[in-house]
Structure formats: structure tokens, C-alpha cells
Amino acid sequence: DIQMTQSPSSLSASVGDRVTITCRASQSISSFLNWYQQKPGKAPELLIYGASNLQSGVPSRFSGSGSGTDFTLTLSSLQPEDFATYYCQQTYSTPRCSFGQGTKLEIK
Amino acid sequence: QVQLQESGPGLVKPSETLSLTCTVSDYSITSGYYWDWIRQPPGKGLEWIGSIYQSGSTYYNPSLKSRVTMSVDTSKNQFSLRLSSVTAADTAVYYCARAGATIFGAFDPWGQGTLVTVSS
């Protein structure tokens, strides 16, 4: 099984800050890495697919990069609505998949 | 715009079987894609449960495989999850989602989720 490890587990930042979240796979997954945002009481929403492709309707302040085993999600200028929990997901072994443990982004 | 909606009992007794259905709207389930179940225990992260294709081919999380059964009902445009011998550890919000081949297998959209509590 492919294990996904996110860091940090939690992060405090201010509006306007640039933030980076990292996701590491236990083996190479090429570009089969997706990022989701989840707000309390809501279902996750797709932000980035294929490591760097912005899902339709997602603001351009979100970006993703990486390939192989190391990936990053960057928020260029935090907005109040960005405070949420973020998950990475590998779909290299699709239809099987696995998620990272999540990164909670909180307001400083 | 495709929509997914989970339905089923919100309370299940220990050792019994959890049964949920996901109804797909504005998209035919026979048109392709994998259809998935994911769960999230209260305050915890996401766990993939399994996936089913329109043909009925299934793929399960190895950690749950012995207790999971997924099926598809094309006449009702629904797919279903059964999880047997449940314990309190199976208490979670259960989500259904569509996995898109053109988006690297990512899940979009998701249903709103349904909380299932295992308790006597």
C-alpha cells in the first residue's frame, strides 16, 4: 500500500501570508496527486488534480507542484475563507487510493 | 451538474450491518467513471473504503475488505455500500464520490455525507 504523509499537521498563519503544505508518498506516484479542502461540517472539495492542475472554479492563489514522491500545495495570499483542513490523495494505484492525514490551517 | 446524495440509517447496532445508498443525479451511472465510498470518523481524517465501476467490478480497502460489499443498481442510478459486523470504530461520516478518469482519478463531486453512529 502507498502511504501518504503530510506536513505540518497544523499550521497557524495570517491573512495575506504565503503558505506551503507538503505531502510525501512512500513510493513514486508520478503526478497522481490531488489536493482537497475541507471546511467544518462540509464534504471535501477538489482543489488540484494531477499535482498541478487547478480544478475549475478554484482561485488562482492555489497552486500545486511536485512529482515522484514529493509534492507541495501553495496558497499565495491567504484569504479568510482559506482557513480549513487540507488533504492530499494519491490515485497512482487507481481505482485504489489513499489520503494524507490532513493539515489544519488556522488563523494566527 | 452531477450531484450525489447519500441515504441510509443514522444509527446501527454493534455487530449488525451498515447499509448506505448513493443516488446520482443528472448523470447516468452507466456512462463510465468509478464510484467510491469514503468515510471520516469524528475529528479524524479521510479513509477510502472502496470503489465500484459501472460493470460491477469492485475494489476495496484491504483493511476493510472482509466486511465490505459494494453494488450498483443501474435502473435506479444508485450504488450502495454494506459494511458488516460493525463496531463503534465504524462510527463516521460516510461520503460517496465520483472518481474522474480525466482528472487523474480525483474525486469530484462528493455527496454531502451522512453520519452513521454505531451504538446499542
Q: Among A52, A46, A45, which Cα is nearest to A31's?
A: A52
Mean pLDDT for the stretch of residues B10-15: 97
Task: Quote the CA–CA distance of B105 and A43 in Å, as a whole number.
Answer: 17
pLDDT score for B101: 84
pLDDT score for B16: 98
- Indicate if the pLDDT at residue A88 is higher than 90: yes
Mean pLDDT for the stretch of residues B12-20: 98
Percent of chain A topping pLDDT 70: 100
Q: Give residue A108's pLDDT band: very low, low, confident or very high (50, 70, 90).
A: confident
> Hey, are the CB atoms on B34 and A46 less than 8 Å from each other?
no
* Region of A93 on the Ramachandran plot (φ > 0 left; ψ -120 to 50 alpha; else beta): alpha
Q: Among A46, A97, A102, which Cα is nearest to B110's?
A: A46
Rg (chain A; Cα; Å): 13
pLDDT score for B36: 97
- Give the three-state DSSP class for B43: coil
Residue A1 with chain B: CB contacts under 8 Å: 62
Task: Quote the CA–CA distance of B67 and B49 in Å, as a whole number.
Answer: 10
By the 8 A CB rule, do B82 and B17 touch? yes
Q: Among B72, B87, B85, which Cα is nearest to B30's?
A: B72
Q: Give residue B31's pLDDT band: very low, low, confident or very high (50, 70, 90).
A: confident
Instruction: Tell me which chain B residue has its CA closest to the CA of residue A34.
Output: B106
pLDDT score for A104: 98
Mean pLDDT for the stretch of residues A10-34: 97
- Indicate if the pLDDT at residue A90 is higher than 90: yes
A98 lies within 8 A of chain B by CB: yes
B73 lies within 8 A of chain A by CB: no
pLDDT score for A94: 87
Find the distance separating the first CA and the last CA of chain B, reported in whole Å.
39
Q: Which helix (H) or strand (E) holds B10?
A: none
pLDDT score for B32: 81
A32 lies within 8 A of chain B by CB: yes
pLDDT score for B55: 86
> How big is the CA angle at A84 (ends B9 and B83), to the nearest 5 degrees?
25
